[in-house]
Structure 1
Amino acid sequence: MTHKHYLAIAVPLIISTITTPLLGAVDTAVAGQLSSSAYMSGVAVGTMIFNTMYWLFGFLRVSTSGFAAQSLGAQNKMESVLALARPICIALFAGILFITLQKPFEDFSLMLIQPDQHTAEFASQYFSVRIWGAPFALISYCILGWLMGMSLIKMTLFLQVSMNILNIVLDIFFVQVMHMEVSGIAAATVISEVYGCLIGCWFVKTNAAMVIKLPSLNLLFHPKPFKKIITVNRDLLIRTLCLLTVFNLFTAKGAAFGSDVLAANAILLQIHFIMAYIFDGFANASSVFTGKAIGKKDQSLYSRTFSLSIQWSFISSTILTVCYFFFKEEIIPLFTTLETVLDIAKIYDVWMILFPLTASFGLILYGIFTGATEIVPVRNTMILAVLVFLAAFFTLVPIFGNHGLWLSFILFSLSRSVLLWMAMPRLTEQVFGRHKLAHGIGKFTAK
């Protein structure tokens, strides 16, 4: 495998991954064109609720990708079917549960966020419509993960991009032409989610690997493999909860420093998310190749994947750091025109220069673990990284204020990278038996 092969998978996945947060962003932007700021605030609150909910279920995509890649490497068509069918059962159950319990779920979410009366009213309108897309959105996660794992990258890219284009068109039509306001914005997103699910199902049906009969219920719910899926998804959920803990504490403490600091931090976090999504694209590529290597029992491909992952961690982090350093004066004003917020953001933007260098290795190595479907090290290292964050948070923030908050976050990112690197030899022993990891680390030169 060469750099060209790796990038042929990574680049489309980067583009696909970056489109993920656009559904909520488009909704908020269109709401911002309405007559009152309460519309935008309500949509923003509603979007936050669904982003959190779907983020918690992001494990459906990640784990499905790993299992699908392994079945592809092993050339096992039935396992390819099962790699998709089993998580879809989980997604369908969760989606129906959200619809059934929508009222208590909505009340609990609004109680936690505590928006003002008008914002809460519009958020409730948005929620009551968009909740009906939950089963389709969660099933789409499984389908996207499966398409990635099966190396059907063009389909993955088309699905993500076309969903967002449809959402934009429907948003404008429902709001500007039909005057449906918040309900129209939510309806546009639901239709986009239904479209994504249906097109994804069609892609699955037309793929050659699926031209076999559907599995029996006994095979579908066989205790041993189903337990493996549940365990992997459980550990990925714990990882996500750890991330939510860090970001919620970060946001809450930023709010304590005042609205201008909170707004500046929000801008820098958005820049951080863009960088993280780029690394996530590389992680998805590493996951696909790792899954193939394990399915084929190809230690050479596994070692080469590890080598390319490390190389592109270094290359991508360097490029992002340099680009941000030279273009930060043009990037930050894209998010706001408020001079006070811009001035504060420029005070703390040094931490965005450090983020790619500290976080890239952990974010991309994460893909190797998910491709191997060995998530316990990911869970454990994330818990330890959160403990590092908490220790820094309670020690440094009282002394250095917002700089201490950002330093705590950078230490959290660095801890994830270092701890996952330390876990790599153990992973290699688990999947291929005892051998020297140096065999894989040493092959840094492309063929």
Structure 2
Amino acid sequence: MSAAPTRRAILSQAWPIMVAQASIPLVGIVDTAVIGRTGEATALAAVALGSTIVNFLFWAFGFLRMGMTGLTAQAVGANDGAEIAALLRRGLMLGGLLGAVLLILQSLLVPAALALMAGGGALDVATRTYVEARLLGAPAALAFYAANGWLLGVGRTRAALVVQLILNAANIALTMLFVWQLDMGVRGVGLGTACADWIAVAAALWVTRAGWRGTAAALFDRAALARLFAVNRDLMIRTVALLTLFGWFTNAGARLGAETLAAQQVLMQFVAVSAFILDGFCFTAEARVGAAIGARDRAAMLRATRLVGEFCLGTAILFAVLIAAGGEAFVALLTTSAEVRAIAAGLLPLVALVPLIGTPAWLLDGVFIGATEGRALRDAALASTAAYVLTDLALRPWGEVGVWIALLAGYGWRAIALGLFWPRLMRRLAPARAAP
């Protein structure tokens, strides 16, 4: 990974991630369409609610991806081969263990999650069926997070693309098989994803097999483990705060009825596509910033941030135009419900603003994750989530329009909060003063 990045180098590193990330929301689109084409609003709402619960449970451990990328990139910048290998093994071990814990505790976690959501009745039953099926893949999903983060950290973005495409292709094929051919309904959607998680982690273990070298002493090095857990603790709190924000957002839609929640699920596919593809550049920022910090190269870090920012802004403008121009036609492909289509059409102008307003927050996330500034990420997420909740409460009289304006404000609050920590990051990279 070159110390002074160029636009060509940034794009070369980012495009495989962008392709991989673009295929992730495709899975959500297929899941939504497979259920949505049945015309059952309750089933579609159950997938929306269940996905929120599973995402909360899984992405509470999203530090396995984010922390791994930042720490590995810094080890690359410092030319520490032994630590690079040890980080992979630590991440895989930790991910598998945490996933097993989720699977064991599901009888406690699922009812508690449903109790917090504004569902009830048939919606709760369908949602529980989906969540329990998804959790069968928990150990594989969390181990996959670690492997993917490691690949991004060492700059092997094409290998990361391969394993992500295997995951998503398996997910799509199995979901269509279970739902359309075997008539398994929402359980089929969840089970298809769980099976795909196991297929993907097997592929990731094969792709990363060269990183398994090393000693047990390196694997359990106390100082390295302490740093791993310190960074991951803050990232976990940060992730839980942001998942709380999106859980609140989903619950806000659920309060307004199954049709509004279903429309919200359809519209979130636009947000997912925009965010995941832009993440291709933001993940590149993580690796580039991490390597620059490992090498103590402030100039390379600033240049990487600026170049990635240019690509992010141009892509965000493109997505805003596409959503505004083609949104209604796309909504019609995902659902046959006239009520859901009408609600979604009225909200499209707000949805088109998400890429533009979300980009600063996503870019700064990448920079601070690469710098392993866990405390800044944690504090910014807590503050912005609190500000979002207050904004949503204030806008409740505006119905579904208020729900989406509050989400836009949430992205703005997050960017502002992270921006306040920028001077501290710059001080960390300031050149050392010469001794008198």
Q: Which of the five TM-score ranges fits, normalised by the shorter chain?
A: 0.7 to 0.9
Corresponding residue number in structure 1 for 2:157: 153
Corresponding residue number in structure 1 for 2:201: 197
Corresponding residue number in structure 2 for 1:88: 92
Cα contact 1:61–1:142 (8 A) shared by 2: yes
Of the three residues 141, 164, 167, the one matched with 2:168 is 164
- Tell me the CA shift for residue 36 of structure 1: 8.1
Corresponding residue number in structure 2 for 1:371: 370
Q: TM-score, normalised by structure 1?
A: 0.84
Query: What is the alpha-carbon distance in structure 2 between the residues aligned to residue 132 and residue 255 of structure 1?
Result: 26
Cα contact 2:332–2:341 (8 A) shared by 1: yes
Query: What is the alpha-carbon distance in structure 2 between the residues aligned to residue 418 and residue 294 of structure 1?
Result: 23
Counterpart code for 1:77:
G
**2:421 match: secondary structure:** helix
Identity %: 30
Corresponding residue number in structure 2 for 1:230: 229
Using the TM superposition, name which of 365-374 and 38-47 deviates more. Answer: 38-47
Of the three residues 63, 67, 89, the one matched with 1:63 is 67
Corresponding residue number in structure 1 for 2:242: 243
Corresponding residue number in structure 1 for 2:77: 73
Aligned length: 429
Matches within 5 A, 1:257-276: 257-276=256-275
- Tell me the CA shift for residue 43 of structure 1: 5.9
Change (3 A) 1:39 1:419: closer
Query: What is the alpha-carbon distance in structure 2 between the residues aligned to residue 307 and residue 261 of structure 1?
Result: 39
- Tell me the CA shift for residue 137 of structure 1: 1.2
Matches within 5 A, 1:172-211: 172-174=176-178, 186-206=190-210, 210=211
Query: What is the alpha-carbon distance in structure 2 between the residues aligned to residue 34 and residue 261 of structure 1?
Result: 17
Change (3 A) 1:289 1:263: same
**1:19 match: secondary structure:** helix
Q: TM-score, normalised by structure 2?
A: 0.86
Cα contact 1:392–1:408 (8 A) shared by 2: yes
Cα contact 1:130–1:186 (8 A) shared by 2: yes
Query: What is the alpha-carbon distance in structure 2 between the residues aligned to residue 311 and residue 352 of structure 1?
Result: 22
Query: What is the alpha-carbon distance in structure 1 between the residues aligned to residue 321 and residue 49 of structure 2?
Result: 34
- Tell me the CA shift for residue 200 of structure 1: 0.8
Cα contact 2:52–2:250 (8 A) shared by 1: no
Counterpart code for 2:165:
V
Matches within 5 A, 1:292-331: 292-331=291-330
- Tell me the CA shift for residue 119 of structure 1: 5.8
Query: What is the alpha-carbon distance in structure 1 between the residues aligned to residue 394 and residue 121 of structure 2?
Result: 37
Cα contact 1:65–1:149 (8 A) shared by 2: yes
Using the TM superposition, name which of 257-266 and 307-316 deviates more. Answer: 257-266
Counterpart code for 2:194:
V
Corresponding residue number in structure 2 for 1:13: 17
Matches within 5 A, 1:9-158: 9-23=13-27, 26-27=30-31, 29-30=33-34, 46-113=50-117, 126-158=130-162
> Over residues 139-191 of structure 1, what are the superposed CA-to-partner deviations in whole Å (9 max), with x where a residue is unaligned?
11100111111111111111111222223333444556667666665554333
Query: What is the alpha-carbon distance in structure 1 between the residues aligned to residue 198 and residue 113 of structure 2?
Result: 24
Counterpart code for 1:20:
I
Change (3 A) 1:191 1:77: same
**2:420 match: secondary structure:** helix
Corresponding residue number in structure 2 for 1:441: none
Of the three residues 411, 417, 441, the one matched with 2:415 is 417
- Tell me the CA shift for residue 34 of structure 1: 7.7
Unaligned runs of 5+ in 2: none
Cα contact 1:69–1:291 (8 A) shared by 2: yes
Corresponding residue number in structure 2 for 1:215: 215
> Over residues 244-288 of structure 1, what are the superposed CA-to-partner deviations in whole Å (9 max), with x where a residue is unaligned?
222233333333344444444333333222222222221101001
Counterpart code for 2:99:
G
> Over residues 342-392 of structure 1, what are the superposed CA-to-partner deviations in whole Å (9 max), with x where a residue is unaligned?
333333322223322222011112111111111211111222222322332
Change (3 A) 1:4 1:94: same
Query: What is the alpha-carbon distance in structure 2 between the residues aligned to residue 84 and residue 402 of structure 1?
Result: 44
**1:20 match: secondary structure:** helix
Query: What is the alpha-carbon distance in structure 1 between the residues aligned to residue 183 and residue 403 of structure 2?
Result: 43
Cα contact 2:74–2:294 (8 A) shared by 1: yes
- Tell me the CA shift for residue 105 of structure 1: 2.8
**1:349 match: secondary structure:** helix
- Tell me the CA shift for residue 115 of structure 1: 5.8
Q: Give the structure, 1 or 2, with the largest relative contact order (CA under 8 Å, sep 6 or more).
A: 2
Cα contact 1:362–1:417 (8 A) shared by 2: yes
- Tell me the CA shift for residue 289 of structure 1: 0.8
- Tell me the CA shift for residue 123 of structure 1: 5.2
Change (3 A) 1:307 1:267: same
Unaligned runs of 5+ in 1: 436-447
Cα contact 1:28–1:43 (8 A) shared by 2: yes
Cα contact 1:428–1:434 (8 A) shared by 2: no
Corresponding residue number in structure 2 for 1:334: 333
> Over residues 402-422 of structure 1, what are the superposed CA-to-partner deviations in whole Å (9 max), with x where a residue is unaligned?
433333222221122233233
Change (3 A) 1:279 1:357: same
Query: What is the alpha-carbon distance in structure 2 between the residues aligned to residue 330 and residue 258 of structure 1?
Result: 23
Cα contact 2:37–2:335 (8 A) shared by 1: no
Query: What is the alpha-carbon distance in structure 2 between the residues aligned to residue 177 and residue 406 of structure 1?
Result: 36
